[in-house]
Amino acid sequence: MKSKAQTKPVYLDKSKSVTARINDLLRRMTVAEKAAQLYGRWEPELFKGGVFNEERLSELIGGNVGLGHLCAPTRSYDVRTGVELANKIQRFFLDRCRIKIPVLIHDEVLHGLMAKGATSFPQAIALAASWDPTLMKTVATAIGRETRSRGIVHALTPTINIARDPRCGRTEETYGEDPVLTAAMAVAFVAALQAQGVAATIKHFTANFVGDGGRDSGEIHFSERHLREVYLRAFREVIRRAGPQALMAAYNSLDGVPCSANKWLLTRVLREEFGFKGVVVSDYDSVPHLRDKHKTAATYADAAEQALEAGLDVELPNPTCFAFIPELVRRRKLSAVVLDAAVRRVLELKFWTGIMDRPYFDVDRAVAVTDCAEHRALARKAAQECIVLLKNADNILPLSKSLPSIAVIGPNADTVRLGGYSGSGMKTVSPLEGIKAAVSPDTVVNFAQGCTIRGSATDGIAEAVEAARRSSVAVLFMGNCSGWTFMGDEISEGEDSDRMNLDLMGVQERLIKEVAATGTPTVVVLNAGGVVTMMNWVDSVQAVVHMWYAGEETGSAIADILFGTVNPSAKLPISYPKYTGQLPLYYNQKPSGRRWDYTDLRGEQFLFPFGFGLSYTTFAYTDLTVSPASAPKTGRIKVSVTVENTGKRDGAEVVQLYLTDVYARIARPVKELKKFQKLFLKAGEKKRVTFTLTAEDLAYLDDRWKPVVEPGEFAVLVGGSSASGLTGSFTIR
């Protein structure tokens, strides 16, 4: 018979249920050990030069109490070094700590793992422009493979905030202005990422990017109805349909109550109403912000108590406040029930990821999968589907690959802008490289930078103008730059870089106009994570293409579009205003007591509406039918339309269905996206598309926040954007 000392603890016994193993852990753990599971550590010096400083980590965690979370040490190192570091970290916690619990290593994976050498796919809003959840699923699967292979099992993504004011610099991280499109793309991303064993963290809960003037993390004073109908909707849908393992509370406050200590938000709405079962983590330093910024807590200990009692489980990146948990327990300011519930959720996440039983990772596997040929090809395909053609006067595009000459101009021509939360060190293809590789060997490529993103110097414009004069066509790569402070003076949007004016910065507009004035046909390609206003120059150029931040294969993909190897199929996930002063402006606004447009803009407000995007072919919509014409509240409505490719090229169209509740007791939006489908059609081919509307599509929230379907008339719009298409109607009795 084995002695008690030789008996394996239940929590280490793989044959036992997860619940039994966690119960055993909670019985064994001290308050200090429990507290340690509820915070992270982020100190780059721990891994300086690729060497793991075990003694320093031991000092940081206070001996052998363990740790819940650690920011990935892999960002600055090659794949092999990064995985080896991750394995050494896990061995440290399993060898040195009294309770053998691995640490959750987390990182950003917004559009690819934020690590050296990882594949960089198109930015989040670019992927949304594909309107293709199937593509998103494939991309997220690749991201998940690379992420987990490097020992990172917790991803601080996706961002599902609704971008209703593109002055916010972080618009690039979102899936646009519509909750239905956002939910569809996020569900695909979360499900695919988690299928690879990487826990997704939906963020930022909630309304983080729509403070007055589009100010990131500004105080929010929306009504509860507005929050529920717009900003909470995608969170609810993703929780219901994809089961994310984690959620991040936002920096901002709601009506004066910070999200990180908002019990109504984190407990009543999130857990009780939405049924969220996972871990709630703080945004980096949002718990100390309760004291330092919001001033709702007098001390860091008070901040910890407020956050934990409200329903926040984990403080990231460091325990500025949660280090006081043992003291709060001793003083009976924090209940053991609240503490154990938070620890249980963290332990459940560790079991879900598999690291409790399989904490180490295969270096060779990580090397093989990271930025492999399959993923690079997918990055190019994704970029092709994300690039939006906005203007194409006289069908100047696609260009011939055998042009005598082409001018490639602009501050974004000979570089690759990856956008915020991007990795580094991967092979990239710039627009200039992509064009040179695509054109005939006899085509002369005349390059001139012309200007910088933000600078006021004009001495390069003359060279750019001369390059245009000597060329058959001029392609200008203009726009923005997003990233971190190491980008220096080039940064023009992104985190901590909100905008007051969405015109192109510096002397970019002057460069466009002077090149266009040469008479050389001019194409402008925009590298930007959000909206660019262009009323000062859009009429001077023949074509406009929005490329967003298109990933490592930027140059190859834009050449594919410009020269017609690929027919553009992307659609805008966000509305384009004519002027910054119109903002906030979005397609699904509610009726106004007067008029919607400004008095100096008689007519259509949008320069390009939500859902808009051109193709090198044309599509016709015919024979819209709505059946039945009248149905009970619980009935189903089938909306069918025939879509025909009436041009000479194969292409894809995003068929969009918008619904209007014509008369309702509570004012409803003028239209709302309900369904969409990306449809591939050969030249001359036609297909019948059918959407089914259910009570869920027809309902709105009543005074008790319950969905209700009212009898009355509903109008339907089906077409290629939110602004045009075939119309029909039906009634609910």
Name which of 294, 290, 284, 285 is nearest 305 in CA terms.
290
Per-residue pLDDT averaged across 319-331, rounded?
97
Mean pLDDT rounded to a whole number for the chain:
95
* Residue 283: active-site member: yes
Q: 487 near 453, Cβ under 8 Å?
A: no
CA–CA separation, 284 and 112 (whole Å): 20
CA–CA separation, 168 and 208 (whole Å): 10
Structure tokens at 474: 């001029």
pTM recorded for the entire structure: 0.96
Structure tokens at 422: 């991007």
What is the reported pLDDT for 1?
Answer: 46
In the predicted structure, residue 120 carries a pLDDT above the cut 50: yes
What is the reported pLDDT for 483?
Answer: 80
What is the reported pLDDT for 75?
Answer: 80
Question: Tens digits of per-residue pLDDT, 49-106?
Answer: 888 999 999 999 888 999 999 998 768 899 999 999 999 999 999 999 999 999 999 9
In the predicted structure, residue 3 carries a pLDDT above the cut 60: no
Distances (CA, A) of 44 to 50, 53, 321: 10, 10, 20
Per-residue pLDDT averaged across 16-39, rounded?
98
Hey, what domains does the chain have and what are their CATH numbers?
380-582+595-608 (3.40.50.1700), 619-732 (2.60.40.10)
Q: 683 near 619, Cβ under 8 Å?
A: no
Backbone angles phi, psi at 477, to 5 degrees: -100, 100
What is the reported pLDDT for 485?
Answer: 47
CA atoms within 13 A on the CB side of 39: 27
In the predicted structure, residue 486 carries a pLDDT above the cut 60: no
Question: Tens digits of per-residue pLDDT, 669-694?
Answer: 999 999 999 999 999 999 999 999 99
Q: Kindly provide the residue ranges of all beta strands, DSSP E only, lying in 609-723, ordered along the sequence.
A: 619-627, 630-631, 637-645, 651-661, 672-681, 686-693, 700-701, 707-708, 712-721
Question: Tens digits of per-residue pLDDT, 688-721?
Answer: 999 999 999 999 999 999 999 999 999 999 999 9
Question: Tens digits of per-residue pLDDT, 273-286?
Answer: 999 999 999 999 99
Catalytic residue (choose from 132, 165, 283, 302): 283
Share of the chain above pLDDT 90, in %: 92
